Amino acid sequence: METWAIPVMKRKRDQFQGVSCWLWDVENPFRRAMIEVTVNWIFELFILLVILVNVILVTVNEPSAPNPALEAVDQPLEITFQVIYTVEMLIKIVAYGFVLHKSSYLRHGWNILDFVLVILGYISFVPGVTNLVFVRSIRIFRALRGFGFIPYLRSSMTAVFHSLIGLLNVGVMLLFLIFLFSLIGVQFFSGFLHQRCYEDGVEVANVVLYLCGNGSTARQCRLGATCLRIAENPQYDFLAFDNTGLALLTLFGSLTTDGWAYTYYAVSESVSYFISFYYITYIILSAFFVVNLVLAVVVEEFSKSREHEKEKANLKKVLSQKRALLRGEPIVKPLTKFQLWKIDFVEKSKIVPVQPFRLFLYNMVTRDWFELVIGGVIVLNTIALLLIHYDMNAEWRLFRMLRLARSWKSLQRVLQIMWWSLPSVGALTLIVLIWNYIFAVVGRDFFWGRVADVPGNPIPRSNFDTFGSAFVTTFHILTGDSWTAVEYATMDGVGPAACIWFVVWVMLGGLMLVNLWVAVILEGYGEFGEVEDEVPLLAVEEEEQNLLNEDEKKEDDTKLEGRK
What is the SS3 assignment for 206? coil
Global pTM reads: 0.73
- Is the CB of residue 164 less than 8 Å from the CB of residue 465? no
Is residue 240 helix, strand or coil?
Answer: coil
The single-letter code of the amino acid at 107 is: R
Please tell me the predicted confidence (pLDDT) of residue 501: 92
| The total number of residues written for the chain in this structure | 564
Per-residue confidence (pLDDT) for residue 556, from 0 to 100: 57
Torsion of CA 370, 371, 377, 378, to 10 degrees: 160
DSSP H helices in 4-123? 29-39, 41-60, 68-96, 109-121
Q: Which residues have C-beta within 8 Å of that of residue 524, sequence separation ≥ 6?
A: 417, 418, 420, 421, 424, 425
Instruction: Indicate the DSSP class of residue 459.
Output: -
Nearest CA to 57 among 143, 150, 144, 153? 143
Q: According to the model, what pLDDT value does residue 560 have? A: 56
pLDDT of the residue at 248: 93
Buried b (16+ CB within 10 A) or exposed e, 530-547: ebeeebeebeeeeeeeee
Distance (Å) of CA 448 to CA 72, 75, 382, 441, 467: 22, 22, 46, 10, 9
Q: What is the pLDDT of residue 368?
A: 77
Cα–Cα distance, 432 to 508 (Å, whole number): 10
Backbone angles phi, psi at 354, to 5 degrees: -105, -20
Backbone dihedral angles phi then psi of residue 5, each to the nearest 5 degrees: -100, 125
- Are the C-beta atoms of residues 498 and 487 closer than 8 Å to each other? yes
Which residue spans within 186-282 are E strands per DSSP?
195-199, 202-203, 226-229
Positive or negative: CA dihedral 350, 347, 351, 345 = negative
Residue 539's nearest CA partner among 339, 332, 334 is: 339
Distance CA 301, CA 167 (A): 9
Report which residue type is found at 288: F
Of 123, 153, 154, 158, the residue nearest 137 (C-alpha) = 123
DSSP H or E segment with residue 5: strand 4-5
In the chain, the amino acid numbered 70 is L
Q: Among candidates 236, 233, 234, 230, which has minimal Cα distance to 201? A: 230
Q: Is 356 exposed, middle or buried (0-12, 13-18, 19+ CB in 10 A)?
A: exposed
Give the span between the Cα atoms of 26 and 7, in whole angstroms.
13
The secondary structure of 48-64, three-state, reads HHHHHHHHHHHHHCCCC
Contact of 477 with 486, CB cutoff 8 Å: yes
Distances (CA, A) of 370 to 345, 363, 364: 21, 10, 7
Integer Cα distance of 55 and 77 in angstroms:
12
pLDDT at position 537: 47
Per-residue pLDDT of the chain (564 residues; tens, 9 = 90+): 444 444 444 334 446 777 777 788 777 888 888 888 888 888 888 888 888 888 888 888 777 777 777 777 777 888 888 898 899 889 888 888 887 777 788 887 778 888 888 888 887 777 665 555 666 667 777 777 766 666 667 777 777 777 777 778 888 888 899 999 999 999 999 989 988 888 877 777 655 457 888 888 888 888 888 888 888 888 888 999 999 999 999 999 888 888 888 888 888 888 888 888 999 999 999 888 888 888 888 778 777 777 777 777 777 777 666 666 666 655 555 555 555 655 565 555 556 666 788 878 888 877 778 777 877 777 777 777 677 766 665 555 555 555 555 556 666 667 777 777 777 778 788 888 888 998 998 888 888 877 755 555 566 778 888 888 899 999 999 988 888 888 988 888 888 889 999 999 998 888 888 887 777 777 777 666 655 555 454 444 555 455 555 555 555 556 556 555
Q: How many CA atoms lie within 13 A of 72 on its CB side?
A: 3
CB-CB contact of 251 with 182 (8 Å): yes
Q: Are 494 and 301 in contact (CB under 8 A)?
A: no
DSSP string, 318-331: HHHHHHHHHTTPPP
DSSP-assigned states of every residue in 158-174: HHHHHHHHHTHHHHHHH
